[in-house]
Amino acid sequence: MEDDCDDDSDGYDEDDYEFDEADFNQHLADKFDDLDLPPGVEATVPWLQKIAAKEEAEEPSKSNNPDENADKYKQFKQFDTVQNFSDHHFSKNFEGEPARAWSKRVQHDWKLLEKDLPASIYVRVAEDRMDLLRAAIIGPKGTPYHDGLFFFDVHIPSSYPSGPPLVYYHSGGLRINPNLYNCGKVCLSLLGTWSGKGCEKWNPAQSTLLQVLVSIQALILNEKPYYNEPGYEATANTPHGQRNALEYNDNTFLYSCRTMLYSLRRPPEHFADLVAGHFRVHGHTILAACKYYMEGNDVGSVVPEEEEESECKNSDAGASSSSSNAPKPGAVKANPPTRRSTFNTSLKTLYEDLLMEFNVKGADTRRFIVEKLKKNQHAAV
């Protein structure tokens, strides 16, 4: 699929180590002081808040209180209406007053979304602009996208439902999937942006906005996105193809981690509470996965539970990730040492940044903080 877009661990004993949260926060502050942060990041970190009184008056609602984040996350509805979007990709695609039949069909789609959205998809629609919609899709377990948040802007043209909606992916400049371009293009037969036949294509009588979102999650954010490239699926049973798929998953997970940081620092409008709450809840799982992958395990494979729960991890594995992702006898294993070394170096840097961000949001990071500080103390001896 050609790109037609311009490129614009050591163990530890937690019981014999006393955790000093103030000391850790100072460690974080020192590290942040050395970083060249993009605009807006300071507002997500308490010790970097150097906001003028005027700016504080303009945005008084911003908060990183963990308990407040948790409450807002619990109250965040899967489907809801907002007044409008100021940062929507299609905000300029206004086509005037909509026809009555168009409005009725869009309201019908809204009802389907409100009633049938899977638990891993969140949607906001605009009252003032019924043609605009924004969705957040959680990456499925057992894939290199697991626990990530991926945002899509949707425009419903006046030709709807005769033609499909327009969809834009908030890529942050990253090509995270053969079907998701760095310029935001979403390549999918249902949208008419890729060839297809039969039920793969848009059907005015049957296709819906719900189908579009579910298709993106199931068909694009899958277990082996490398094979989404046309012709590559034919190599799925060859050592060469399997090795390439593993390498693609490595890169995809790195991009997914970068996307997490991007969303944490600049959450799309109306989704800040979801972003803060989601990573507060899932931060521990994401950090555990990072460490597991850095130990040489395949990205997307089952991450064992905590050590004290290890006896039941086999019976619980299916609840946290697809059992089909567990290593199989004779399967092609991780990439060559040089490749894994590069992956580990990149992931270690992202892990440190995620640890800081998740800690600020109130995630359960104690295990990783204790391990980090203990290692630092040993290194200083």
| CB-CB contact of 185 with 191 (8 Å) | no
307: Cα separation from own chain's centroid: 27
Region of 138 (left: φ > 0; alpha: ψ -120 to 50; beta: rest) is: beta
d(Cα 227, Cα 220) in Å, to the nearest integer? 10
H/E element, 151: strand 149-155
Cβ contacts of 41 within 8 Å, gap of 6 or more: 48, 265
**187, 199, 257, 312: the active-site residue:** 187
| Residue pointed to by tokens 């190599």 | 235
| Residue pointed to by tokens 């390549």 | 187
Contacts 24+ apart (CB under 8 A), 67-73: 67/362, 69/273, 69/276, 69/277, 69/280, 69/361, 69/362, 70/277, 70/280, 70/362, 72/273, 72/276, 72/277, 73/273, 73/274, 73/276, 73/277, 73/278, 73/280, 73/281
d(Cα 325, Cα 317) in Å, to the nearest integer? 10
| CB-CB contact of 155 with 132 (8 Å) | yes
d(Cα 123, Cα 77) in Å, to the nearest integer? 8
Are β-strands 132-138 and 149-155 bridged in parallel, bridged antiparallel, or unpaired?
Answer: antiparallel
For residue 252, give the nearest of 139, 373, 91, 83 by alpha carbon: 139
Q: What is the DSSP letter of 297?
A: P
257 catalytic, yes or no?
A: no
Q: What is the DSSP letter of 1?
A: -
Q: Tokens for 95?
A: 């086509």
| CB-CB contact of 242 with 41 (8 Å) | no
Positions annotated as catalytic residues are 187
